[in-house]
Structure 1
């Protein structure tokens, strides 16, 4: 760790997305059905926000590959950074032809963060 860098908070362990029973390593049909239902329900909600699974996954990958990821949050004076800061940055940097779809991705991220009860930006 670099000196002067605040320690990172521990992330909670991700939920297991495996359809195998952790004890017996056999296929868990009930878990598979629950994960499939969660996926379908989530995709229906995101589609209501304009998400298109044929377009947005590749666009998200392209945006990250083109503009990178936020390794460190900028610390402007005033309130802590939030979705408004990212929206402003997107409007300033993303080409006009991609802005509408980039903003759909941002809105979907905001919805997922809201559902999880977590902030969009983790310190």
Structure 2
């Protein structure tokens, strides 16, 4: 069984927080897409346009474009209330994933660490350098909010 101290040593949890938030945002804007290769939070506007183009005749499905854009705008509005800033946090999330990595495997089924926002917050505070702490906590808060809204675990497996 994983203990808190063992998981605490595994800094990949920090990258996983950023990764899961990005996946959640992408899944919200592009529901039904299971393969998100090439999709990042920073290129959502371009991917909305790309997904709105009819592959047969090259015309833009304005209704589809409008719906995805409104969905994205509404989500950003919600996240901005939690201090999420696309100019900062899209790149910062990529930085955290590249710096810390992501979990290589599902955490032990008997641990609730990755499902408990309070423990994750303590882990972030204990592990992340002070200069990155505020923005990492913003990402965690956003992930927690989206998890509450969609009623899925913080790290769905």
Confirm or deny: 8 A CA contact 1:51 1:104 kept in the other structure: yes
What stretches of structure 1 of length at least 5 have no aligned partner?
1-11
Q: Does 1:15 align with 2:48?
A: no
Question: Among residues 72, 80, 98, which one is paired with 2:105 in the alignment?
Answer: 72
Alpha-carbon spacing, 1:19–1:76, altered in 2? closer, same or farther (3 Å): closer
Alpha-carbon spacing, 1:112–1:22, altered in 2? closer, same or farther (3 Å): farther
Between 83-92 and 59-68, the greater mean CA deviation after superposition: 83-92
Q: Which structure has the larger Rg?
A: 1
Alignment of structure 1 residues 24-63 onto 2, 5 Å? 26-63=59-96
Q: Distance in 1 between matches of 2:79 and 2:61?
A: 27
How far the C-alpha of 1:75 sits from its partner, in A, is 3.3
Question: Among residues 102, 120, 124, which one is paired with 1:86 in the alignment?
Answer: 120
TM-score with structure 2 length normalisation? 0.60
How far the C-alpha of 1:27 sits from its partner, in A, is 1.7
Partner of 2:151: 117
Confirm or deny: 8 A CA contact 1:51 1:108 kept in the other structure: yes
What stretches of structure 2 of length at least 5 have no aligned partner?
1-26, 34-47
Larger helix fraction of residues: 2
Say what the alpha-carbon RMSD is for the aligned residues: 2.7
Higher relative contact order (CA 8 A, sep 6+): 2
